[in-house]
């Protein structure tokens, strides 16, 4: 706590995913043989057809400030993508392109939340949701779930979390960190509850849409009665391995999109012009172009689950999407491992970094103190060696 800093930032926590990744990088640079399963970042190269369009954009002299809410051609590509992949109809005024889905989420929170508004976060939730909520004056209301319900919440739980102060519900499906995917029927059951509370806005983070092993992606916005109150968040970081290129986007009710455009115009302006041009190419191509990455993630999922299930005390759900496993490791709490007392998930995560040289992220950062998260966006060799080391360190 530094009194010279704002209350706002003093009350904020550092992103646990980025902090662990930075720590792993630091240790590696100091010569330690660290395997990082901390950051959710595809390890594939960006496909050549996307790289080529970025190079073309540079040679075509794209350099000037782009429109705040994105190039018209990119908005058209996003509209076509929404229609092709999700059967959703949007007009250009409903689309806002941002510097990553993270900025899209921050825009939404800033334009919708007033001091004291409650935001329902089905847990486990993605690490930044709670701090983005708090930074915007909102109060996170976490609905807990666990491995028995495949880390999904029930309509009854949703109903009991709603109060007159509830402003929005924010969740990801496929879910980071649990990999759970809500089916259309499950989403409908949640929508049936929400239909009684027409003022609640749904923020549906679908950034892992294509990294889905069951082949069926459903969105709350597809229900006619929910369309006008749902903001769909998506981006190219995960599906196209474009994490560092920083492009995210929303399809939203027009009044929300306009407000996001306004706020972005005062904070960052339009997203990077070269990355926007490359994103047009990425989205215009059919998802089959990136199927090789999904196939590889699926194989890695099988590998990591098999290896983890062989470690006593690690119990995993079967993730249906994204590229994370989220084992419940609470059976270690209260025990000693090589002289170190493990009281919680953070203790185990730090223990693994120190004694197995493997970086993971504590479940506490995702609102679930019984679990740790491992990203399997890593090579099969790294995964195999990392889990071998973990096993050796805990038995
Ligand atoms: N939502 C979820 C669920 C994520 O895992 C991430 C991680 N990057 C983001 C949003 C932010 O993505 P971006 O790189 O587009 O900012
Ligand atoms: N979304 C990724 C993760 O959860 C990237 C890190 C981040 O943006 O926080 O690891």
Which pLDDT score, from 0 to 100, does residue 215 have? 87
Q: Are residues 171 and 100 in the same domain?
A: yes
Q: Are residues 93 and 236 in the same domain?
A: yes
Token pair of 175 as six digits: 């879910």
What distance in angstroms lies between residue 3's CA and the mean position of ligand 1's atoms? 31
Q: Are residues 76 and 184 in the same domain?
A: yes
Nearest CA to ligand 2 atom 5: 40
Q: Are residues 12 and 70 in the same domain?
A: no
Q: Are residues 82 and 122 in the same domain?
A: yes
**What is the number of the ligand closest to the CA of 14?**
2
Q: Is residue 233 part of a domain?
A: yes
Q: Are residues 190 and 251 in the same domain?
A: yes
- Reference 294, options 211, 362, 170, 365; nearest CA is 211
What distance in angstroms lies between residue 104's CA and the mean position of ligand 1's atoms? 10
Which pLDDT score, from 0 to 100, does residue 1 have? 85
Q: Are residues 92 and 207 in the same domain?
A: yes
Atom of ligand 2 nearest to the CA of 361: 10
**Which of 257, 286, 315 delimits the end of a domain?**
286
Pocket mutation for ligand 1, best pick of 40, 97, 100 (most atoms within 8 Å of C-beta): 100
Domain that holds residue 346: 7-45+290-394
Q: Which residues of 226-264 are buried (b: 16+ CB within 10 A; e: fewer)?
A: bbebbbbbbbbbbbbbbbebbbbbbbbbeebbbbbbebb
CB 230 within 8 A of CB 220: yes
If one counts the domains in the chain, the total is: 2
Q: Are residues 338 and 278 in the same domain?
A: no
Q: Is residue 198 part of a domain?
A: yes
Q: Are residues 130 and 249 in the same domain?
A: yes
Atom of ligand 2 nearest to the CA of 126: 4
Ligand 1 pocket list (CB less than 6 A): 40, 100-102, 126, 172, 176, 205, 207, 235, 237, 243, 248
**Which of 286, 312, 341 delimits the end of a domain?**
286
Q: Are residues 343 and 385 in the same domain?
A: yes
Token pair of 42 as six digits: 């595809």
Query: Residue 137 gets which letter from DSSP?
Result: T
The CATH number of whichever domain residue 310 belongs to comes to 3.90.1150.10
Q: Is residue 1 part of a domain?
A: no
Q: Is residue 2 part of a domain?
A: no
Q: Are residues 254 and 349 in the same domain?
A: no
In tens digits, what is the pLDDT along the chain, a chain of 395 residues? 899 999 999 999 888 888 888 889 999 999 999 999 999 999 999 999 999 999 999 999 999 999 999 999 999 999 999 999 999 999 999 999 999 999 999 999 999 999 999 999 999 999 999 999 999 999 999 999 999 999 999 999 999 999 999 999 999 999 999 999 999 999 999 999 999 999 999 999 999 999 999 989 999 999 999 999 999 999 999 999 999 999 999 999 999 999 999 999 999 999 999 999 999 999 999 999 999 999 999 999 999 999 999 999 999 999 999 999 999 999 999 999 999 999 999 999 999 999 999 999 999 999 999 999 999 999 999 999 999 999 999 98
The CATH number of whichever domain residue 88 belongs to comes to 3.40.640.10
Q: Are residues 258 and 356 in the same domain?
A: no
Pocket mutation for ligand 2, best pick of 39, 235, 319 (most atoms within 8 Å of C-beta): 39
**Which of 269, 286, 303 delimits the end of a domain?**
286
Residue 253 phi/psi, 5-degree rounding, is -55, 145
Q: Is residue 155 part of a domain?
A: yes
């Amino acid at each position: 706590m530094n009194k010279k800093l704002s209350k706002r930032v003093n009350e904020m926590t550092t992103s646990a995913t980025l902090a662990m990744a930075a720590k792993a990088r630091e240790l590696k640079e100091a010569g330690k043989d660290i395997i990082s399963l901390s950051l959710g970042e595809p390890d594939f190269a960006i496909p050549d057809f996307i790289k080529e369009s970025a190079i073309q954009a540079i040679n075509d002299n794209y350099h000037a400030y782009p429109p705040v809410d994105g190039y018209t051609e990119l908005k058209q590509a996003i509209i076509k993508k929404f229609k092709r992949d999700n059967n959703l109809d949007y007009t250009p005024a409903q689309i806002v392109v941002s510097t990553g889905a993270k900025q899209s989420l921050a825009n939404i929170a800033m334009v919708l939340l007033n001091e004291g508004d409650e935001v329902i976060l089905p847990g486990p939730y993605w690490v930044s949701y709670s701090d983005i909520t708090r930074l915007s004056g909102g109060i996170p209301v976490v609905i807990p779930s666990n491995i028995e319900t495949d880390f999904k919440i029930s309509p009854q739980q949703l109903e009991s979390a709603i109060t007159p102060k509830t402003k929005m519900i924010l969740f990801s499906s496929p879910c980071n960190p649990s990999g759970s995917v809500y089916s259309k029927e499950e989403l409908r059951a949640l929508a049936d509850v929400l239909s009684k509370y027409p003022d609640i806005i749904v923020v549906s983070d679908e950034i892992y849409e294509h990294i889905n092993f069951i082949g069926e992606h459903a969105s709350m916005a597809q229900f006619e009665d929910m369309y006008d109150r749902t903001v769909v968040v998506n981006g190219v970081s995960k599906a196209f391995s474009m994490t560092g290129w920083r492009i995210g986007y929303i399809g939203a009710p027009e009044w929300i999109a306009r407000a996001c455009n306004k706020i972005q115009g005062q904070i960052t302006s339009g997203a990077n012009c070269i990355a926007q041009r490359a994103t047009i190419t990425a989205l215009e191509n059919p998802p089959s172009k990136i199927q090789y990455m999904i196939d590889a993630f699926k194989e890695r999922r099988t590998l990591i689950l098999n290896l983890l299930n062989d470690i006593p005390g690690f119990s995993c759900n079967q993730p249906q999407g994204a590229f994370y496993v989220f084992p419940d490791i609470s059976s270690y709490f209260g025990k000693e491992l090589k002289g170190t007392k493990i009281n919680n998930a953070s203790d185990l995560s730090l223990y693994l970094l120190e004694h197995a040289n493997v970086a993971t992220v504590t479940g506490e950062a995702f609102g679930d103190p019984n679990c740790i998260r491992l990203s399997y966006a890593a090579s099969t060799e790294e995964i195999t060696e990392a889990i071998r080391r973990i096993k050796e360190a805990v038995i």
